Amino acid sequence: MKLSNRITGMVGAAGGGWELFFKARAMADAGEPVVELTIGEHDIRTDPVILAAMDRAARGGHTGYAMMAGTDALRDAVAERVQARTGVETTRANVLITPGGQSALFAAHHATCDEGDRALFIDPYYATYPGTIRAVGAQPVPVAAHAEDAFQPRAADLAAAAPGAKSLLVNSPNNPTGAVYSRATLDGIAQVCRDHDLWLISDEVYDTQVWDGTHLSPRALPGMDARTLVVGSMSKSHAMTGSRIGWLVGPQEAIGYLANLAIHTTYGVPGFIQEAALFALEQGPGLEREIAAPFARRRAIALDILGRQNAIRALPPQGAMYMMLDIRATGMSGIGFAEHLLETHRIAVMPGESFGQAPAGHIRVALTVEDARFAEAFQTLVDTAGALAA
Ligand code: PLP
């Protein structure tokens, strides 16, 4: 039987370096001592106090259908959080609770793009972006951000791609580059959206992981709250990746329609997960800082090691749990270097090529293993690059 083009064409042809991730996983599963610096998952689990809240909620009876757009209490808490951080008036009518940020990315594109519409996104990009855009029948259009600009996108490049497009997806703090977009970058993005009548989809799932600079939500820029959908998640801020809990914040009309999408797809997020999420948000920024702290420590370890060599060029990441390293001095591609590192030292990193064309010749290192092990692996990585570049 023939399947739809939409599902068979959703993910591009395999390649671009994800094979390396699967190879490393297979080696680790076979018992080899692989240091996995690949995906963005904390090396800690969800805090026991959050799990206790989840347990209390489930045992207290929250195991039936929950409100599909989210419980009033959680929507209120998210609205309050967003308003406090951005100054933009936000109520529960602006908030849809979703099963994670990924679901919110899908919902945002579903709400803004029709069949065949051009949907812009920035390259380097988080792996699911093009597939998410194709999943709603739209056409993914990458706009490159360059290493020499510290991976901040240029407004002129966005303006050149904008005519006829429906939406622009941006992500700051950025996965995979660690860039935190400056006020000037965000002003440029907002200007392009206003000039070309684009929806802005702002993926802010790393907003609690900022090491340098300040996170600014573009929804707070002049005239932007009516055309911005903000993706949020508790995966990274509260180490709740497996709980699948996030949100979309945007204009009331959009959120109203999107509640229908929730009814016709997920039928909402389990009530006991929503209760646990509410409890987690109520713990305030202290818990969030505690969860983010290991990444700041490992960033410092990496910068210290990088300061004593000159084969690898790297911009200190301003946010998120990754570092992008320029390994072009080795004469290898990101894929070639990552394969060499895995084969010779059992250290797995992501080739830059997995995240688009712009980060070719780079590798992405996730700051997601315990400090001493991270320091040892990172030193080996740097020594390996040094030997190749010599
Ligand atoms: N957006 C970015 C940039 C990410 O890196 C991720 C996960 O790694 C997500 C969205 C989706 O996260 P989740 O669906 O777990 O909230």
Q: Which of 97, 122, 202, 233 is the best mutation target for the ligand 1 pocket, counting ligand atoms within 8 Å of the beta carbon and taking the most? A: 233
The finding on whether 368 has its CB within 6 A of some atom of ligand 1 is no
- CATH code at 278? 3.40.640.10
CA 108/CA 210 separation, integer angstroms = 24
- The CB of 246 under 6 Å from ligand 1? The reply is yes
Beta strand pairing call for 118-123 and 246-249:
unpaired
User: Quick check: CB of 235 below 6 Å from ligand 1?
Assistant: yes
Burial label for 58, CB within 10 Å (0-12, 13-18, 19+), is middle
CA of 383 to the centre of ligand 1 (A): 31
Same domain, 90 and 236: yes
* Residue whose CB lies within 8 A of the most ligand 1 atoms, among 105, 175, 240, for a mutation test: 175
For 46-55, what is each residue's pLDDT tens digit? 999 999 999 9
pTM: 0.96
Pull the structure tokens for residue 248: 């979309």
C-beta separation of 232 from 104 below 8 A: yes
For ligand 1, say whether the CB of 175 is within 6 Å of any of its atoms.
yes
d(CA 173, CA 212): 10
What's the 174 CA to ligand 1 centre distance in angstroms?
11
Q: Are residues 257 and 305 in the same domain?
A: no
d(CA 88, CA 320): 24
262 and 329 belong to one structural domain? no
Q: Which pLDDT value is given to residue 13? A: 65
State whether 32 and 64 are in the same domain.
no
Whether the Cβ atoms of residue 276 and residue 243 lie closer than 8 Å to each other: yes
pLDDT for the residue 18: 74
Residue 375: what pLDDT? 98
Classify the C-alpha dihedral 53-58-61-67 as positive or negative: positive
pLDDT, tens only, 326-350: 999 999 999 999 999 999 999 999 9
What pLDDT does residue 23 have?
A: 93
Reference 209, options 229, 185, 238, 183; nearest CA is 238
Distance 381 CA to ligand 1 centre (A): 26
Q: Give mean pLDDT, residues 105-112.
A: 98
Distance 318 CA to ligand 1 centre (A): 18
- Please state the domain count of the chain: 2
DSSP assignments along 68-101, one per residue: TT--HHHHHHHHHHHHHHH-----GGGEEEESHH
Our answer on whether the CB atom of 287 is closer than 6 Å to any ligand 1 atom is no
Amino acid at 38: T
**How many whole angstroms separate alpha carbon 58 and alpha carbon 71?**
15
**Within this chain, do residues 81 and 121 fall inside the same structural domain, yes or no?**
yes
Q: Is the CB of 126 under 6 A from ligand 1?
A: yes
- Average pLDDT of the residues in 260-269: 96
For the cut 90, the answer to whether the pLDDT of residue 15 exceeds it is no
Which pLDDT belongs to residue 55?
Answer: 98
319 lines ligand 1 (CB under 6 A): no
pLDDT for residue 390: 85
**Strand residues in the chain grouped as ranges (E):** 35-37, 95-98, 118-123, 139-144, 165-171, 199-203, 228-233, 246-249, 313-314, 322-326, 347-351, 362-366
62 with 157, same domain: the answer is yes
Same domain, 171 and 268: yes
DSSP bridge pairs for 315: none
Query: Would the pLDDT of 228 be above 80?
Result: yes
Pick from 8-12, 109-113, 126-130: least confident: 8-12
Tell me the CA–centroid distance for residue 105 and ligand 1, in Å.
Answer: 9
Distance spanning both ends of the chain, measured CA to CA: 56
Distance between Cα 176 and ligand 1 center (Å): 11
- Find the domain containing 301 and state its range: 5-45+286-389
Q: Is 222 in the same domain as 100?
A: yes
Does 180 lie in the same domain as 127?
yes
User: pLDDT at residue 222 above 70?
Assistant: yes
What is the distance in A from the centroid of ligand 1 to the CA of 1? 33
Q: What is the CATH number of the domain that holds 39?
A: 3.90.1150.10
Range 220-242 average pLDDT = 97
Average pLDDT over residues 137-149: 96
Residue 124 pLDDT > 70: yes
165 and 69, same structural domain? yes
Which pLDDT value is given to residue 20? 87
* 25-41 pLDDT, tens digit each: 999 999 999 999 998 89
**pLDDT over 90 at 17, yes or no:** no
End position of a domain, from candidates 245, 264, 283: 283
Give the contacts of 54 (CB within 8 A, at least 6 positions apart): 243, 272, 273, 275, 276
Cα radius of gyration (the chain): 21
Q: Are residues 173 and 58 part of one domain?
A: yes
For residue 288, pLDDT over 80 is answered with yes
Q: How confident is the model at residue 14 (pLDDT cuts 50, 70, 90)?
A: low
pLDDT greater than 80 at residue 16:
no
Note whether 40 and 186 are same-domain residues. Answer: no
Nearest Cα neighbor of 247 from 272, 225, 274, 218 is 274
Protein residue with its CA nearest to atom 16 in ligand 1: 101
Which token pair is 28? 């680790």
Query: Each residue of 66-87: pLDDT tens digit?
Result: 999 999 999 999 999 999 999 9
Task: Examine the fold and report which residue of 262, 283, 304 is the final residue of a domain before the chain moves on.
Answer: 283
CB 335 within 8 A of CB 359: no
* Band of pLDDT at residue 238, cut at 50, 70 and 90: very high
Measure 322 CA to ligand 1 centroid, in angstroms.
13
Average pLDDT, stretch 354-376? 95
Contact 241 CB / ligand 1 (< 6 Å): yes
Q: Which atom of ligand 1 is nearest to the CA of 245?
A: 16
User: Of the candidates 241, 231, 239, which has an alpha carbon nearest to the alpha carbon of residue 171?
Assistant: 231
Residue to substitute in 38, 39, 126, 231 for testing ligand 1 pocket (most ligand atoms within 8 angstroms of CB)? 126
Taking only the tens place, the pLDDT of each residue in 366-384 is: 999 999 999 999 999 999 9
**pLDDT confidence of residue 19:** 83
Pocket of ligand 1 contains residue 102 by CB under 6 Å:
yes
With the most atoms of ligand 1 within 8 angstroms of its CB, the residue from 123, 177, 205, 321 to mutate is 205
